[in-house]
């Protein structure tokens, strides 16, 4: 596919990615077609309490986008616009899955533009088969032993299984007969 934007364009794709899903990968791939360089940046100081450490989340994303040469992955903390300036990014990429995402994304995009007028937010729609997906749902399914193969790459599924196996409480509950 040919590039739609002239050379030298850099984008950052921020999020919590706890864990990365096929929906995120879909957005990242679309961004990689539009920009010369895309850095997926993993927020480590959000108000969320992630299941996976920043390092684990970066590792899972790196594996998921392996082979796409213009995508890099790293952690970030602090204000997103400061990070964007440091990376000399022209744009922030965000996925827009449904109307319900709009208000929050609109607020965040305008706030970021207020903080730094040179950085715009570009919204990309993942494939419709991923519109209902988020990381909380994936964690919830995995926590109760459900199959997440359709939502995350195999290596993420294994990490989820390991995480919840390690975290299983020794609560002495009786097994059903």
Residue 54 Cβ vs ligand COA, minimum distance, rounded to whole Å: 12
Looking at the Cβ atoms of 70 and 123, the one nearer to ligand COA is: 123
Sign of the alpha-carbon dihedral angle for 28, 29, 32, 33: negative
Annotate the chain with three-state secondary structure: CCCCCCCCCEEEEEECCCCCCHHHHHHHHHHHHHCCEEEEEEECCCCCCCCCCHHHHHHHHHHHCCCCCCEEEEEECCCHHHHHHHCCCCEEEEECCCHHHHHHHHHHHHHHHHHCCCCEEEEECCCHHHCCCCHHHHHHHHHCCCCCCCCCCHHHHHHHHHHHHHHCCCCCCCCCC
Smallest gap from Cβ 68 to ligand COA, in A, equals 16
Q: Which residue has the tokens 């730094």?
A: 116
Q: Which residue has the tokens 């990309």?
A: 124
How near is the Cβ of 7 to ligand COA at its closest, in Å? 26
Task: Point out which residues bind ligand COA (CB under 6 A).
Answer: 14-16, 18, 21, 23-24, 27, 43, 46, 48, 79-80, 95, 97, 108, 111-112, 126, 130, 133-136
**Which pair of structure tokens corresponds to residue 35?**
């920009």
Nearer to ligand COA by Cβ, of 114 and 174: the residue is 114
Place of tokens 């990014």: 89
Q: Which residues are catalytic?
A: 24, 48, 97, 135
Closest to ligand COA by CB, 5 or 96: 96
- For the bound state, the minimum distance from the C-beta of residue 129 to ligand COA, rounded and expressed in Å, comes to 11
Nearer to ligand COA, 18 or 37 (CB): 18
């Amino acid at each position: 596919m040919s590039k739609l934007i002239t050379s030298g364009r850099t984008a950052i794709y921020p999020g919590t990615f706890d864990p990365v899903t096929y929906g995120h990968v879909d957005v990242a791939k679309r961004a990689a077609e539009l920009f010369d360089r895309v850095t997926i940046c993993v927020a480590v100081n959000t108000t969320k309490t992630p299941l996976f450490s920043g390092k684990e989340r970066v590792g899972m994303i790196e594996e998921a986008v392996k082979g796409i040469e213009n995508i890099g992955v790293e952690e970030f903390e602090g204000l997103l616009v400061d990070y964007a300036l440091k990376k000399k990014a022209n744009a922030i990429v965000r996925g827009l899955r449904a109307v319900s995402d709009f208000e929050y994304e609109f607020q965040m995009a305008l706030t970021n533009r207020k903080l730094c007028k040179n950085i715009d937010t570009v919204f990309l729609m993942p494939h419709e088969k991923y519109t209902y997906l988020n990381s909380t749902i994936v964690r919830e399914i995995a926590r109760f032993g459900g199959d997440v193969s359709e939502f995350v790459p195999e290596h993420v599924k294994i990490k989820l299984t390991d995480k919840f196996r390690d975290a299983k409480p020794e609560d002495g509950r009786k097994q059903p007969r």
